[in-house]
Amino acid sequence: MVEERLIRVHLGYEASEGFRRALQAGLPERLAFSEGERYPKDTEILVCGRPDRDQVLDLPHLRALIVPFTGIPPETLQLARDLPEVSLHNLHHNAEACAEMALALLFAVAKRIVPTDRQFRQDGWTAREADSSLLLLGKTALIVGAGAIGRRIARRCEGIGMKAALVSRTGTNGTHPVSELSSLLPTADVLFLALPATPETDGLIGPAEISLLKPTCILVNVGRGSTVDERALYDALASGRIFGAGLDVWYQYPSGGCDRPSRFPFEDLDNVVMSPHRASDVYENDELRAEQLLELLREVAEGRPMPNEVNKELGY
């Protein structure tokens, strides 16, 4: 009897204990698992968000690269494009958590939770005299980005009695094409952004698009900061041109040597709820990430195509 060859799956970083435990508990027997910053030469499947380029190019048997989160970093995307024989995949384990955060930001802005809480603590019952909040029942949510996160946002909006419209690049599967965006923006009571960072999406919501929004519109971004023009958004919020915004994604990050999330003082605006890119930071994250990775690896072990393949040209 010929012994079945093991497939090497390497995690290109040191895993947390919870993630390692959950992954190893469900790993198919046909897969050999290892982890660490040095990649074994027999690696066939590499799991790493920002892999070392030189090491990757020196892996003769590599056939798949899995980014263990949703967005593909630009340098990783370019590396994958340089390796046409290697497929690129990502994980959507954080889709539920990101959709929940989108709704949390919406409610916080619409009901003025943060400034009212602060005023109530400081001034007592005079906080009841603060500006009125917005009713969401029957309102229209326009969700730009019809992937795993966007569709979950739509279902949640419908669940609280809102109307939801999805916008995608092509306008397939019950969505509107992005070419119709300008005509849709004036109808939005809430504009959700759940987009990856690509050349197509960079600055998609600029000054012209923001000028089309209702004065009572709320903008919520849980995709990437670069999809909304930074200055145009700040100016619209500071001037009261739109009602408010809930932002979990930003323009400047510590990895770029910046200690503030933007060039503009969003923190001074009462109509903005700020979140430090933590939508997916839930207690269950390790288990969710491991389970989704196992779903991909089980397909490999059974000799079937791996799901969640990323289009290298589009970047998602």
CB 32 within 8 A of CB 56: no
**Averaged pLDDT, 204-214:** 98
Residue extents of the structural domains in the chain = 7-93+283-301, 95-274
Using CA atoms, how far apart are residues 14 and 21, in angstroms rounded to an integer? 12
Beta partners for residue 220, in sequence order: 192, 246
DSSP 57-97: HT-TT--EEEESSSSPPHHHHHHHHT-TTSEEEE--TTHHH
Say whether domain 7-93+283-301 belongs to CATH 3.40.50.720.
yes
List the one residue out of 236, 238, 181, 193 whose CA is nearest residue 214: 236
pLDDT of residue 206: 98
Mean pLDDT score across all residues of the chain:
95
Segment 169-199, tens digit of pLDDT:
999 999 999 999 999 999 999 999 999 999 9
- Which amino acid type is present at position 187? T
For the whole model, what pTM was predicted?
0.91
Task: Give the pLDDT band (50/70/90) at residue 3.
Answer: low
Q: Flag whether pLDDT at 24 surpasses 70.
A: yes
What are the residues whose beta carbons fall under 8 Å from the beta carbon of 40, sequence distance 6 or more? 8, 10, 34
CATH architecture designation of domain 95-274: 3-Layer(aba) Sandwich (3.40)
Residue 127 to residues 16, 116, 156, Cα–Cα distance (Å): 44, 6, 30
Q: Do domains 7-93+283-301 and 95-274 have the same CATH topology?
A: yes
Task: Give the pLDDT band (50/70/90) at residue 1.
Answer: very low
